């Protein structure tokens, strides 16, 4: 299987030693019962023996960037284990994976000089039953922009960018503490984390892309970037846009915040009529830089409900493991802990807002004066790096576009 060959290099370096506190309370309780039967003059000897044989371990706090990964062959005997080498936060790394809409024809060409990147496209093409690399290299762009093609292409292109990073910075696997995925990129991050193997990930994204494409064809819909002035009331704007669309004959109009980019920037999604209201009245609504995105669907809104059932069926047939690094859910902004979390989060993400600003805040929260890790923006053409600048300028200083 390809994932054993491709991901063995990736995830084997990301296996963490799980350390849990000793069950001292239970042990001490059992021995306390035995002590009741011991004569008074010998209890001091028993207590001394208990202290000598017992050990205490403090609860480990999850700091993501500060936890040092151990190789699979690391000893598990706590008492014989050598003292862990301290790793500076600035020596660690965070990987960011983009969502749909960033990929342009020819962007992947720079990654093809790395043999493993070519192999990714080859295996993906076999699963998808069309030449994915040819589409990425030669287009046409209109075809590449279609959801059912763009989603698999974006996932594979991002992992191809990862191959370039690994070749140029081999230690990135050992130093990676967390991965963040913007919208579709959340699935890419889970593949990288070892939670989902590569072949299964391609099958999932194939179903996801086709299901979302089909949902978007049920009505005229889309997505809109808006930059809000301080006086803008964005939630009221959405309500007014829905009322406008209803007056035009749309039975159940939708206009919602689909993605929280950063404080001033949002992406709205909904029916075409509602979005046209926002476009035509942007100035008086307190909005600037209003721009349509090159997508056909109102992603991350209830208009994607028809895509939930087919994607759910695909998820139920997929083997999912616990991620070996921290991956945050776009929906809950919490770390995925197990397969139940992942299945729930990936489904919720289809029809609820992507909290990207909140995800970045969570990834980079640290005590004052603590250095920031290196961040690598994989395959977005620098767009994720730009968003990071608007959320956390200090983290941006250590961010590199691959």
pLDDT score, position 201: 98
Phi, psi at 223, each rounded to 5°: -135, 150
Domain boundary assignment for the chain: 92-216+307-401, 221-292
Provide CATH code, domain 92-216+307-401: 3.40.366.10
pLDDT score, position 305: 98
> Sheet holding 265-271: strands in order across?
255-262, 265-271, 221-228, 287-292
Catalytic-labelled residue, pool 93, 125, 183, 200:
183
Assess whether 331 carries a catalytic annotation. no
User: What is the chain's pLDDT, residue by residue, as a tens digit (402 residues)?
Assistant: 444 344 444 444 443 332 233 332 333 234 334 444 445 555 455 444 433 443 333 333 443 433 333 233 323 333 444 444 454 566 799 999 999 999 999 999 999 999 999 999 999 999 999 999 999 999 999 999 999 999 999 999 999 999 999 999 999 989 999 999 999 999 999 999 999 999 999 999 999 999 999 999 999 999 999 999 999 999 999 999 999 999 999 999 999 999 999 999 999 999 999 999 999 999 999 999 999 998 889 999 999 999 999 999 999 999 999 999 999 999 999 999 999 999 999 999 999 999 999 999 999 998 988 999 999 999 999 999 999 999 999 999 999 999
pLDDT score, position 178: 96
**Alpha-carbon gap, residue 317 to 52, rounded angstroms:** 51
Q: Tell me which residue of 63, 70, 135 sits closest to 105, measured CA to CA.
A: 135
**Alpha-carbon gap, residue 360 to 394, rounded angstroms:** 12
pLDDT score, position 31: 37
Residue 372 and residue 397 in contact, taking contact as beta carbons nearer than 8 Å: yes
Q: Tell me which residue of 100, 116, 105 sits closest to 161, measured CA to CA.
A: 116
Assess whether 300 carries a catalytic annotation. yes
Its sign, for the CA torsion 164, 168, 169, 170, is positive
Q: What is the pTM of this model?
A: 0.79
Q: What DSSP state is assigned to residue 269?
A: E
Class of domain 221-292: alpha beta
Catalytic-labelled residue, pool 125, 300, 331, 353:
300
């Amino acid at each position: 299987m390809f994932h054993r060959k491709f991901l063995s290099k990736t995830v084997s370096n990301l296996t963490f030693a799980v350390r849990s506190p000793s069950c001292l309370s239970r042990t001490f309780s059992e021995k306390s019962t035995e002590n009741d039967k011991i004569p008074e003059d010998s209890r001091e000897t028993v207590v001394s023996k208990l202290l000598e044989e017992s050990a205490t371990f403090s609860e480990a706090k999850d700091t993501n960037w500060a936890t040092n990964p151990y190789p699979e062959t690391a000893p598990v005997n706590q008492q014989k284990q050598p003292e862990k080498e301290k790793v500076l936060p600035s020596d660690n790394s965070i990987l960011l994976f983009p969502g749909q809409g960033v990929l342009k024809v020819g962007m992947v060409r720079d990654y093809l000089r790395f043999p493993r990147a070519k192999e990714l496209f080859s295996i993906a093409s076999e699963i998808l039953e069309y030449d994915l690399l040819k589409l990425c290299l030669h287009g046409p762009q209109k075809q590449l922009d279609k959801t059912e093609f763009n989603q698999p292409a974006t996932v594979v292109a991002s992992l191809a960018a990862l191959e370039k990073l690994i070749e140029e910075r081999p230690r990135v696997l050992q130093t990676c503490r967390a991965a963040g995925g913007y919208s579709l990129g959340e699935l890419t991050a889970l593949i990288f984390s070892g939670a989902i193997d590569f072949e299964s990930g391609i099958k999932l994204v194939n179903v996801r892309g086709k299901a979302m494409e089909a949902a978007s064809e049920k009505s005229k819909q889309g997505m809109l970037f808006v930059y809000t002035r301080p006086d803008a009331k964005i939630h009221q704007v959405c309500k007014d846009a829905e009322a406008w669309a209803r007056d035009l004959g749309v039975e159940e109009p939708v206009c919602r915040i689909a993605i929280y980019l950063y404080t001033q920037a949002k992406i709205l999604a909904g029916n075409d009529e509602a979005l046209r209201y926002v476009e035509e009245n942007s100035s008086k609504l307190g909005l600037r830089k209003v721009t349509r995105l090159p997508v056909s669907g109102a992603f991350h809104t209830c208009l994607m409900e028809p895509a939930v059932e087919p994607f759910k069926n695909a998820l139920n047939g997929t083997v999912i493991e616990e991620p070996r690094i921290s991956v945050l859910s776009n929906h809950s902004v919490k770390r995925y802990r197990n397969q139940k979390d992942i299945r729930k989060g990936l489904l919720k993400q289809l029809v609820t807002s992507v909290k990207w600003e909140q995800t970045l805040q969570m990834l980079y929260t640290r005590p004052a004066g603590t250095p920031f890790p290196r961040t690598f923006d994989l395959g977005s053409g620098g767009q994720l790096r730009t968003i990071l600048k608007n959320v956390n300028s200090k983290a941006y200083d250590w961010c590199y576009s691959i």
